[in-house]
Structure 1
Amino acid sequence: MTQPAKPARTAASSQRLKMRRELAAAAMELFATKGYEETTVDEIAAAAGVARRTFFRHFRSKEEAIFPDHDDTLERARAVLDAAPAHENPLDTVCQGIKEVMRMYAASPAVSVERYRLTREVPALREREIASVARYERLFTRYLLGHFDEAAHHDGDDDPLLAEVAASAVVTAHNHVLRRWLRGGAVGDVEAQLDRAFAIVRQTFGTGFGASRTDGTAPAAPAARTSERGEVLVTVARTDTPLEEIMRSIELTLRRA
């Protein structure tokens, strides 16, 4: 009897997101033509063809209406983390998770460019954007902290610091690429640009995080490990380890040599 309830919830969620986007579109158009300060919630609701109370069922304020997709995108990012394969480097997983944010912006380039312009001009919107970014950072920090490789750092007190700094680095790299892309009119392959930025983050923070923990306490063995023996490098890897991860292990060891 509980099975049929799932599609209903999905349909309701889709309808809710559709209304949020319609309200956001009405708000952005009014902000652009009339000005943010001069636009009222009543005007936004009227432009979207709904009552004032409907607006407040979806948003707490008019500045919140400019970001209708963040709640849904945060859940998609969380789903990426939850579905990550056991052998995947957690930092790679986080990079994949935040790509959901980039895809949200890339899905509507013209809207995203206008939104970026508005957030630069209106302090209240910029503060709302900063608050949204902080939610992603907290999600990624918790995930990385749960996958910290204790064998890579002898001082356990470093765990929260490295997790928070690495999560912040991923978000900062994403935001840097996103802003550059939006300033350029949302032209070009933004995911390729993002992958180049993530390569820098991996080189800096790629060690210290192990694969998923198998018993809740000890980290699983890394998928690939390279050690230096005299003038020879020896790499040990599982057969299912991606070639990219093996090459990164070798590169990191060469850098330390």
Structure 2
Amino acid sequence: MSRTVKSARSQHSTQRRKVRGDLASAALELFATKGYEATTVDEIAATAGVARRTFFRHFRSKEEAIFPDHDDTLERVEAVLRGAPAQENPIDTVCRGIKEVMRMYAASPSLSVARYRLTREVPALREREIASVSRYERLFTRYLLARYDDHSHLGDEPLLAEVAASAVVTAHNHVLRRWLRSDGQGDVESALDHAFTIVRRAFGDLPSAAGQRPPAARATTDGEVLVTVARTDAPLPEVMRAIERALDQRG
């Protein structure tokens, strides 16, 4: 590919991100001041300084407009999975992948906090957010299923892949919510790394397609799935201690 073509594509991508960002900011501002139901697509486009047809080139609906980065982030996550070293623990790869999502939120703390507050108030926006998150979970489930040994757990590989993917996403979302509730303050990446340490202890020893057990995780009984219960508003240290106690009792 020539430098000219690469440069043109880069400029197009930059312009696309700018327009999507402007539309997202306009939508968020109008939703906060006028209310979600009272805001129209035409008003969002006008506030962003673009035509109505431009809005629909970037978003299918007004609720989609305040989540402008998920498509690009999903591509970056997929790139992490595709480029993972063959011998890397699949759980480690998935944890690295979802860090791209956290970085998306952490790149604009004030915007992320404002969006979080708004999604708590508007069911349609909350549903849109859930749909966006589910895309990552499905991607991770497919990746893990492809990496696990066939018949290593008596046909339970699909279940284990889905549960492990859900654990990574849940750990990420728990840390993210706590960070957003604290107005985007604190070292969110360190908190995320700590949460992933617990996930790795529970799922990091599942056999991969390469037929090797990652040495960092403690071996557990084949086919065993750890289940523990905690309040959704429980502090992260409390959740981690509950999981650690369950692991200790099991070992």
| TM-score bracket, shorter-length normalisation | 0.7 to 0.9
SS of residue matched to 2:212: coil
Report the CA distance between 1:79 and its aligned residue: 0.7
Report the CA distance between 1:28 and its aligned residue: 0.4
2: CA distance, partners of 1:90 / 1:164 = 13
Q: Is the 1:98–1:174 Cα contact (8 Å) retained in structure 2?
A: yes
Q: Is the 1:87–1:222 Cα contact (8 Å) retained in structure 2?
A: no
- Picking from 204, 207, 216, the partner of 2:205 is 207
Aligned to 2:110: 110
What amino acid is the match of 1:129? E
Report the CA distance between 1:209 and its aligned residue: 3.7
Against the structure 1 CA distance between its residues 19 and 147, is the aligned structure 2 distance closer, same or farther, given a 3 Å change threshold?
Answer: same
Against the structure 1 CA distance between its residues 86 and 172, is the aligned structure 2 distance closer, same or farther, given a 3 Å change threshold?
Answer: same
TM-score, normalised on structure 2? 0.83
2: CA distance, partners of 1:165 / 1:91 = 12
Q: Is the 2:204–2:217 Cα contact (8 Å) retained in structure 1?
A: no
Against the structure 1 CA distance between its residues 224 and 76, is the aligned structure 2 distance closer, same or farther, given a 3 Å change threshold?
Answer: same
Quick check: 1:193 aligned with 2:200? no
Report the CA distance between 1:101 and its aligned residue: 0.4
What amino acid is the match of 1:119? T
2: CA distance, partners of 1:119 / 1:209 = 39
SS of residue matched to 1:208: coil
Q: Is the 1:174–1:194 Cα contact (8 Å) retained in structure 2?
A: yes
SS of residue matched to 1:224: coil
Q: Which moved more, 1:106-115 or 1:141-150?
A: 141-150
Q: Is the 1:148–1:159 Cα contact (8 Å) retained in structure 2?
A: yes
Structure 2 residue ranges without an equivalent (≥5): 220-247
Aligned to 2:212: 221
Q: Is the 1:41–1:62 Cα contact (8 Å) retained in structure 2?
A: yes
What amino acid is the match of 1:96? R
2: CA distance, partners of 1:201 / 1:178 = 16
Q: Is the 1:116–1:182 Cα contact (8 Å) retained in structure 2?
A: yes
Report the CA distance between 1:58 and its aligned residue: 0.5
Aligned to 1:44: 44
Report the CA distance between 1:227 and its aligned residue: 9.8
Identity %: 71
Deviations 1:167-216 (A, max 9, x none): 01100110111001101111000011111111111111112142xx5xxx
1: CA distance, partners of 2:46 / 2:164 = 44
SS of residue matched to 1:146: helix
More strand by share: 1
2: CA distance, partners of 1:92 / 1:149 = 17
1: CA distance, partners of 2:196 / 2:116 = 22
Deviations 1:32-68 (A, max 9, x none): 1111111111110010011111111111110000100
Quick check: 1:173 aligned with 2:164? no
Q: Is the 1:152–1:207 Cα contact (8 Å) retained in structure 2?
A: no
**RMSD value, Cα:** 2.3
Aligned to 1:10: 10
What amino acid is the match of 2:182? G
1: CA distance, partners of 2:63 / 2:130 = 12
1:60-79 paired onto structure 2 within 5 Å: 60-79=60-79
Against the structure 1 CA distance between its residues 223 and 4, is the aligned structure 2 distance closer, same or farther, given a 3 Å change threshold?
Answer: farther
Deviations 1:138-157 (A, max 9, x none): 1101110111034752x0x2
Larger radius of gyration: 1
1: CA distance, partners of 2:8 / 2:163 = 40
TM-score, normalised on structure 1? 0.81
Aligned to 1:92: 92
2: CA distance, partners of 1:136 / 1:227 = 27
Against the structure 1 CA distance between its residues 50 and 226, is the aligned structure 2 distance closer, same or farther, given a 3 Å change threshold?
Answer: closer
2: CA distance, partners of 1:227 / 1:196 = 17
2: CA distance, partners of 1:197 / 1:117 = 24
Q: Is the 2:206–2:213 Cα contact (8 Å) retained in structure 1?
A: no
What amino acid is the match of 1:79? A
Report the CA distance between 1:225 and its aligned residue: 8.4
Against the structure 1 CA distance between its residues 22 and 150, is the aligned structure 2 distance closer, same or farther, given a 3 Å change threshold?
Answer: same
SS of residue matched to 2:28: helix
Report the CA distance between 1:256 and its aligned residue: 6.8
